[in-house]
Amino acid sequence: MFLPSNNFSSDQNCSLGEIKVLKLPNSVPGSTNGRSPRPLSQLIQSTPPFKPTHRRAYSAGACLQSLITPKPVEIDPPPAPHYPSYSSSGSSFTDGKGKITGIAISSDSTMYVINSTLKECHHFELDGRLLGTFRGTLKDPLDVAIYTDDDGVDVVLVTDHGESNHGIKVMKTDGDSGQRDFMVLTDHPIKPMGITVMPLGSEKLSGEEILTCDAEDKLIKVYNKQGESLRCIGQNYSTLFKWPLYMTIFKMKYLVITDNCLQTVFIIDMDTDNIIARIQHENFTPAKTCVLPDGSILIGDNSHTVAHKATTNILNERRKNREIQSTMMFSSEPIALAANKDFLCVGCKDGSIHAISMNATLSLVQKSEGTKEYFV
């Protein structure tokens, strides 16, 4: 079992497999539901002196004996300090070039988008700067994506699939003063679930397109940044999808889609709109996915405390159905996944955030060969 190091510092040399586990801040700036933990000194209580809890007749000997050797009082160990648990949903996002730039957690109809920094020595740290907070107009926030506009302003996209207020909500922030502008991107009658932005760096994909899973039409709909509908992906399979949930773009050409109801991950060629692979597993509820540097796909399981790694080189294999290669276990359900060449970042349902060096991730996952490997 790999445990976080208590004496971790930025000037230490990290060894393979070392993990840093952090919690979200005790309270998020601007939040009213954050709760500070009780001081540890208040949680550790000394053993109370013996004191009868009710009146009863004692013989002189028994009374004297009770005073000399009081009955032992069993006390449960003090609980760990409490941190707020933002547990309804969550996502990690990158800057389009593979660098993890933040974590977003939704709770109580509020989406918190928290900036994060990846520092030296495989150290993941929340610097506490809140990119933005959505309140009031959100009913049931699910997923988040972010990009930077031409003016250098962070633009945060949040999907809201509440019954009476669904749509893609947009917020621009300037980082220091918080919310700067708020609007609804789409007036179309869609019920958006997962959302992503086309990454930069491809001749064909300009980075100007926003993709979202529509739970109503069971399609992947593509919009520009002005909210104008461009096209749909998956029209050949609209009758096949039951509940398309989250998406990941793979090799700038393929779309990885998780279907909760079908318990299947589909991989679609966006050029031909054909399904080229499916990933299935027994007792499997796929949710967020990310692509690891070795070409494999890591899939968070929304009903278990595990993430599954699918077989590698999916484009070179002739079998259309892919199998789960190995399983990684976490402290709680992994609701947020992001990866670059150096780190795997996992946000769990219990509010914890785990950053694991990619060397450790790949070696441990490959070593497990289908068996369960405990990370925390």
pLDDT tens digits along 83-115: 333 334 455 555 555 555 556 655 555 555 655
Query: What are the residue ranges in the chain where pLDDT is below 50?
Result: 1-64, 66-67, 69-89, 118-129, 175-180, 202-206, 312, 314-321, 366-376
CA–CA separation, 241 and 74 (whole Å): 56
Cα–Cα distance measured from residue 182 to residue 165, given in angstroms and rounded to the nearest whole number: 15
Which domains, ranges and CATH numbers included, belong to the chain? 90-233 (2.130.10.10)
pTM of the model: 0.62
What's the pLDDT at 191?
A: 80
Q: So what's the pLDDT on residue 143? A: 79
pLDDT at 7: 38
Give residue for tokens 């589909």: 266
Q: Which residues of 235-270 are buried (b: 16+ CB within 10 A; e: fewer)?
A: eebeeebeebbbbbbbeeebbbbbbbebbbbbbbeb
The whole-number pLDDT of residue 197 equals 80
Is residue 253 a contact partner of residue 198, using CB atoms and an 8 Å limit? no
Give, in order, the Cα–Cα distances in Å from 257 to each of 192, 195, 215, 308, 369: 14, 11, 13, 15, 24
| CB-based contact 49:68 (threshold 8 Å) | no
Cα 210 to Cα 167: distance, rounded to the nearest angstrom: 13
Do residues 223 and 212 touch, judged by C-beta distance below 8 A?
Answer: yes
What is the distance of C-alpha 168 from the center of its chain? 19
Q: What is the pLDDT of residue 210?
A: 86
pLDDT at 50: 40
